[in-house]
Structure 1
Amino acid sequence: MQVIMIGPIMLKYSLIMAIIAASTGYLVILFRTRHLDTRLRKAVLDDLMVALLIGILIWRLSPFVFNAKAMMHSPKSLLYYTGGTSGILLAALAAVLIIAYKCVKQHKPWTVYANTGLTWLISAYGIWDLLRIFLDDGGYPAVGTAIVAAAVVVYQFRHRERIFSSYLLVCTVMWSAIGLFAVSLVDESVEALWLGLGGMQLILLFMAIMALIMKVILEKKESQCT
């Protein structure tokens, strides 16, 4: 991955790609939520943006958590290093907890936040892999991921009136997991962990199965109510 030097600061193309992906994803949810009540829409978009910014800050500072000794010895190294996968997971956890707290404390509709946030995540992920095709030799897996992301976003737009529905959330997770799992099968870089499947493949398979079970449960509840 190439880098751009601005004085002592090294900017990776991956960072620029992430900014483009996140910005494009935000534009997607702007359209995704335009039918909502103005006050609710503003609250959802503002809260998600705050959660993202705090998540980014935690990700950038996470080396102090996972490699505190090295950071204390050379604080300037923070300009060049990030928290990696562990930092991303910590940032994601913090963002989810922030949104969950707001929903519980202020009695906000969590399904709207979840559906909107998921749309942002999926669309940004699709744009990220689309950029990888041209800038980072993404190959067939990147093409497949971009197609899956586009299909899922279209699915959510077609059911935008169900943004308050947990059923839509479950279906989105299920189809996303199934699609990404299928794409991962053509990725030759995946290292087998169990039953010939890689770690991420096992996670996606688990998510798809759990979402399918939840989908069946919700459908049964809906049929009983009618």
Structure 2
Amino acid sequence: MQVIQMGSIAVLLKWLLLGAALFIGLAILKLWLRRTQEKILHKQVIDLFFNSLFFGFICWKGSLFIIDPVLVIKSPLSLLYFTGGTTGLVLAVVGSIIFYFFKANKSNITDRLILQSGFLYSFAVIGVYHLLATLLLEEQKLNHIISGLYTFAIVIFAFWKHQMVTQQRIFSSLILFSFLSLSLSFIQLSVERKIWLFSAQQWFFVVLIIVSLIFWDKKSKS
């Protein structure tokens, strides 16, 4: 794996690319909000995403206590230098999603905008990350190219045809992306820890498919 040395700290390049994708995704979301929503909602939605990202970061760092509690007990400062890796990232994503929907439902933002904003931001981040990874990472090129092109195509469609981004289209896109990601994960060689035959990342996509099927046609407030 490619590593960037920052003083005494070594950081995997893929985490830096993910960080860049998170902020670029916010810029794309802000452009979309300016194009489709009233100005009064811009700050409220963006602040919600900033808070969700911060909560996800805390979950990611804190996940080390769940994954390797012995290390944290012996050396509490390890929380500053280490993370929970890919498994921790999955926990962070789940935590930030729960936080996002919990806080959004307590606001005056409609269910439609909550779903559209979350969908657009998620796919923008995934698309930007995979396209950056295609250019800068050496491993899993096919995975990055396919996932990047698919997600970015969805973002472009959502950006320019926002009136057609319905609840059914959103969850259909999530189901297709999850199946695509699962297929690619089985093709590539993985050293991730397995939980009942699947990795944490694979289980995340399995659950995402199930949740998407449940909410595909569920009525929501407009």
Q: In terms of Rg, which structure is larger?
A: 1
Deviation by residue 1:128-149 (Cα, 9 ceiling, x = unmatched): 2222223222322211111111
TM-score, scaled to structure 2: 0.77
Q: 1:205 to 1:8 in 2, by over 3 A?
A: closer
Rounded to whole Å, the distance in 1 between the matches of 2:71 and 2:29 is 39
Deviation by residue 1:170-197 (Cα, 9 ceiling, x = unmatched): 2332343355456557x34269x9xxx9
Q: 1:146 aligns with which of 148, 160, 170?
A: 148
CA-based RMSD of the aligned residues comes to 3.2
Q: Which residue of 2 aligns with 1:21?
A: 21
Deviation by residue 1:32-74 (Cα, 9 ceiling, x = unmatched): 2112011222211110111011111221122123333321211
Unaligned stretches of 5+ residues in structure 1 = 222-226
- The higher-RCO structure (CA 8 Å, 6+ apart) is 2
Matches within 5 A, 1:1-226: 1-34=1-34, 35-137=36-138, 138-161=140-163, 165-180=166-181, 187-189=187-189, 204=205, 211=212, 215=216, 217=217
CA contact (8 A) 2:185 2:202 kept: yes
Q: What code does the residue aligned with 1:29 have?
A: L
Q: 1:147 to 1:184 in 2, by over 3 A?
A: farther
Rounded to whole Å, the distance in 2 between the matches of 1:53 and 1:206 is 23
Aligned length: 212
Q: What code does the residue aligned with 1:143 have?
A: I
Q: What code does the residue aligned with 1:71 have?
A: V
Q: Which moved more, 1:103-112 or 1:125-134?
A: 103-112
Q: 1:91 to 1:46 in 2, by over 3 A?
A: same
Percent of aligned positions with the same letter in both sequences? 23
2:31 aligned counterpart, secondary structure: helix
Deviation, structure 1 residue 150: 1.4
Q: What code does the residue aligned with 1:171 have?
A: S
Rounded to whole Å, the distance in 2 between the matches of 1:203 and 1:8 is 33
Q: Which residue of 2 aligns with 1:224?
A: none
Rounded to whole Å, the distance in 1 between the matches of 2:96 and 2:167 is 20
Q: What code does the residue aligned with 1:14 have?
A: K
